[in-house]
Amino acid sequence: MAEEPIRLSSDVGTLPGIGPRSRPHFVHLGIATVGDLIKHLPLRYARHLDESSIRDADQLVPMQDGAKSQGVIAVRGEIAALRAPPGPQRGGRSRIEATLEDDSGRVRLVWFNAPWLKQKLHPGSRGLAQGEAKRFHGYLEMINPKWTPLEEDEAPSAVTAALRPVYPASEDLSSQKIEKAVAAILDSAVPLIVDALPEPIRHARGLLPLGESYRRMHRPSSEAEAKEARHRLAYDELFLLQLGVMLKRWHLRTTASATALAMSATIDERIRRRLPFTLTPDQSRVCAEIAKDLGQTTPMNRLLQGDVGSGKTAVAAYAMLTAAAHGAQAALLAPTEILAEQHVTNLRAMLASSDVRIELFTGGRKTKERAAALERLAAGEVDLAIGTHALLAEGVHFKNLAVVVIDEQHRFGVAQRAVLRERSSRREGEKAQSPHVLVMTATPIPRTLALTVFGDLDVSTIRHGPPGRSPVTTKWVPPQAAGEVYRWLAPKLAAGERAFIVVPAIDPQGPDTEMVLADVQTHLEMLSRGPLAGHRLAAMHGRLPAAERDEVMGRFRRGELDAIVATTVIEVGVDVPEATVMIVEHAERFGLAQLHQLRGRVGRGSQPGTCILIGEAVTDEAQRRLQALVDTTDGFRVAEMDLEIRGPGELVGARQSGLPPFRVADLMADLDLLRLARQDASELVAGDPALTRPEHQLIRKKLLHSYGEALGLADVG
Ligand code: ADP
Ligand code: MG
């Protein structure tokens, strides 16, 4: 029987050497087909030696002094002792001496003039010494052996001194087994790999063909070869994402149309009069940028970034009121109910004497109320719809939605943005009607993300917040000092100041939890019986009914409460200018960006704010996080430090973006490559915006397959 020809879609179970027992182990690692196997790339490479040349130390050499081993042999073991006197020794040569131990005995390793080895050798490190051994004064000795460090239980095997791939493996499936499986199919599979990258781009950028890249990734003859292959694969990932972003941007601009909301001096003046303060120069500039966008029939797609407390809400109000001025609807999407409720309260106050109709949409509302509100929304009897993601739900219809604002964008994903746009779009003749979209974030977006996930957005920035702010002082104290903190707080509350006290848990923890965390109720009771007795305290967390939360926030705002003991539900957006003190218990448990947000709840009025982080530096990272907050109040700097501390793997927003993660590309390290890919993608889209040319069919298919859903590209082509 002739063997089935191999295909990329062939099941790994049909490959020689992979039986029904090992197949599930492959599948577990995401390898179901030959194509998956080819895409399962090595993490790194190691140089290994021929197993057959490895000896036990006691078998190396005959016992007589001066006896030599037969040729080059290898011993595998652990460094038991190390002597590396600094500087040159007698005869001007530096000398390093180590004792290598295996199960059978010991060999002395001596290196002359190899000072760089000092960094590689430590007592306890494992490795392979390769050279000629001899007896010297009864000791076994190797002079200037070749040293190859080995992982804990890494076994050197097969091929000699070649670069060997080290694959992501599992307990059941070793890297070696994966290597064997790849080796068995690589040569027949590589010719089957279709390169979707348009040839002119590949040429212009001097990139390897795709199949060749995979071959070299799995079986490089040098590190440089592997690097070149990696470069090509990283380019592919970046190019594909950029192509998606560019296409979406182009598509939106040309196929969707928005209601043009022309700004006039009269409207501008009327809106400004409604605001409780004069806009700062930065706010004014951003409003002008927005007004210009709103005046077009191309839908606005703008990102507003500005630190916590910089005054983004007023800008949002400006955009929404522009819609209302034209008799169109606007929606404001907030990440939490509390924030949505606050926006409603503020807008109602601002618009009290106007006929603008405001409606709150949250998951917490009663079904009947909700149904009635939805009806009003669909009938156009609501001008400003404020809500949480409940506004994204199926069954929410607007009559003529013209402006959408998404507050604290980092809490939403790109996909959600797409959903909202889709929900609010209507088809009208040739073009889809889409609202103008403004997304706001207090978390400055790193350059890399600005180019990728948010690559389709125009960006406005508020750099300077409203004047008259006193900066917030941040202190970090250990848990033992908590009592002192509250004793310091009590007289302040008595003098009319207001405080937030944040704890990590809502409910008391069971007695079996290893660390007792402060919870809202227990902490509140402890404080009101102890250091804050006689002061008016209330609890706040996400599980309270909306009405109760409203009531608590209202009392706090009016000064009928002195302090709120809360979870991080108050983290985002909550604005009570009279609050001056923020105390965070177990601060080490919160992220840097989160703590910065919490701190942003105070120092919003004319009174100076204080933020006290009560926390223990349980890890090095926690220590750096807490210290970073003490060191700076600048949100852009905080975001940078956050990146430095957490590393690129956790890029703000990338995780929530809903985009498939890169396998090869590294957004931090490959920034230059990203720029090239962006340029190439932009040129390609400019020349063939719907990707209809025959030579672009492969890349189009690949794009829709990879990013179609995440980027909402379903309608492309
Ligand atoms: P964020 O950018 O964090 O959303 P907010 O919009 O909540 O900031 O504004 C923070 C505080 O600054 C609020 O109390 C707001 O009323 C006040 N504020 C905003 N703009 C101005 C301004 N131009 N003049 C005075 N106060 C302002
Ligand atoms: Mg805000």
Same domain, 477 and 370: no
Q: How does pLDDT run across 53-78, given as a tens digit for each residue?
A: 677 777 766 666 667 766 667 888 88
Q: Which ligand 1 atom lies nearest to the CA of residue 283?
A: 23
Question: For 591-688, where are the alpha helices, taking DSSP H only?
Answer: 592-599, 620-631, 635-646, 671-687
Tokens describing residue 115: 């000072």
Name the CA dihedral angle for 613, 615, 618, 619, rounded to a multiple of 10 degrees.
Answer: 0
Name the CA dihedral angle for 79, 85, 87, 90, rounded to a multiple of 10 degrees.
Answer: -110
pLDDT at 653 over 50: no
In a domain, 216, yes or no: no
236 or 634, which is more confident: 236
Same domain, 531 and 589: yes
Q: Which ligand 1 atom lies nearest to the CA of residue 468?
A: 25
Q: Whose CA is nearest to atom 26 of ligand 1?
A: 466
In three-state secondary structure terms, 620 is helix
pLDDT at 648 over 50: no
Q: Is the CB of 139 under 6 A from ligand 1?
A: no
Q: Which ligand 1 atom lies nearest to the CA of residue 276?
A: 16
Q: What is the pLDDT of residue 603?
A: 83
Tokens describing residue 120: 């590689």
Q: Is the CB of 594 under 6 A from ligand 1?
A: no
In a domain, 273, yes or no: no
8-state DSSP, 309: T
Instruction: Single out the residue in 573, 606, 632 at which a domain terminates.
Output: 632
pLDDT at 704 over 70: yes
Binning pLDDT at 50, 70 and 90, where does residue 475 land?
Answer: very high
pLDDT at 27 over 80: yes
- Rounded to the nearest angstrom, the distance between the alpha carbon of 567 and the centre of ligand 1 is 23
Q: What percent of the chain has pLDDT over 70?
A: 84
Q: Are 596 and 629 in contact (CB under 8 A)?
A: yes
Same domain, 423 and 522: no
Instruction: Choose among 506, 498, 632: nearest CA to 560.
Output: 498
Same domain, 441 and 409: yes
Same domain, 321 and 367: yes
CA distance 77 to 130: 11
Binning pLDDT at 50, 70 and 90, where does residue 227 land?
Answer: very high
- Rounded to the nearest angstrom, the distance between the alpha carbon of 312 and the centre of ligand 2 is 6
In three-state secondary structure terms, 483 is helix
Q: Which ligand 1 atom lies nearest to the CA of residue 600?
A: 3
Q: Whose CA is nearest to atom 4 of ligand 1?
A: 312
- Rounded to the nearest angstrom, the distance between the alpha carbon of 571 and the centre of ligand 2 is 10
Q: Are 213 and 655 in contact (CB under 8 A)?
A: no
Q: What is the pLDDT of residue 19?
A: 87
Q: What is the pLDDT of residue 92?
A: 63
Same domain, 381 and 495: no
Residues 6+ positions from 680 with CB-CB distance below 8 Å: 201, 204, 205, 239, 242
- Rounded to the nearest angstrom, the distance between the alpha carbon of 280 and the centre of ligand 1 is 10
pLDDT at 552 over 50: yes
How many domains would you assign to the chain? Answer: 4
Q: Are 608 and 580 in contact (CB under 8 A)?
A: yes
Q: Is the CB of 578 under 6 A from ligand 1?
A: no
8-state DSSP, 295: T
CA distance 276 to 274: 6
Same domain, 329 and 428: yes
Same domain, 448 and 305: yes
- Rounded to the nearest angstrom, the distance between the alpha carbon of 351 and the centre of ligand 1 is 17
Q: What is the CATH number of the domain that holds 65?
A: 2.40.50.140
Mutate which of 279, 287, 313, 598 for ligand 1? The one with the most ligand atoms within 8 Å of its CB, which is 313
Instruction: Choose among 459, 434, 432: nearest CA to 444.
Output: 459
Instruction: Single out the residue in 86, 114, 149 at which a domain terminates.
Output: 149
Of the listed ranges 165-169, 175-179, 349-353, 670-674, the least confidently predicted one is 670-674
Q: How does pLDDT run across 267-304, given as a tens digit for each residue?
A: 999 999 999 999 999 999 999 999 999 999 999 989 89
Same domain, 504 and 521: yes
In a domain, 199, yes or no: no
CA distance 606 to 397: 42
Q: Which ligand is nearest to the CA of 596?
A: 1
Mutate which of 575, 578, 580, 597 for ligand 1? The one with the most ligand atoms within 8 Å of its CB, which is 575
In a domain, 67, yes or no: yes
Same domain, 79 and 22: no
Q: Is the CB of 335 under 6 A from ligand 1?
A: no
Instruction: Choose among 178, 186, 112, 167: nearest CA to 142.
Output: 112
* Burial classification of residue 277, based on how many CB atoms lie within 10 Å of its CB (0-12 exposed, 13-18 middle, 19 or more buried): exposed
Q: Is the CB of 280 under 6 A from ligand 1?
A: yes
Instruction: Choose among 112, 111, 105: nearest CA to 138.
Output: 105
Q: Which domain holds residue 507?
A: 472-632
Q: How does pLDDT run across 525-549, given as a tens digit for each residue?
A: 999 999 999 999 999 988 888 788 8
Q: Is the CB of 305 under 6 A from ligand 1?
A: no
Tokens describing residue 547: 């009405």
Q: What is the pLDDT of residue 573?
A: 65
215: number of Cβ within 10 Å:
21
CA distance 566 to 540: 5
Question: How do beta strands 126-131 and 73-83 pair?
Answer: antiparallel
Q: Which ligand 1 atom lies nearest to the CA of residue 308?
A: 3
pLDDT at 586 over 90: yes
What's the chain's average pLDDT?
Answer: 84
Of the listed ranges 64-68, 86-90, 245-249, 471-475, the least confidently predicted one is 86-90
Of the listed ranges 99-103, 178-182, 630-634, 657-661, the least confidently predicted one is 657-661
Q: Is the CB of 575 under 6 A from ligand 1?
A: yes
Same domain, 413 and 476: no
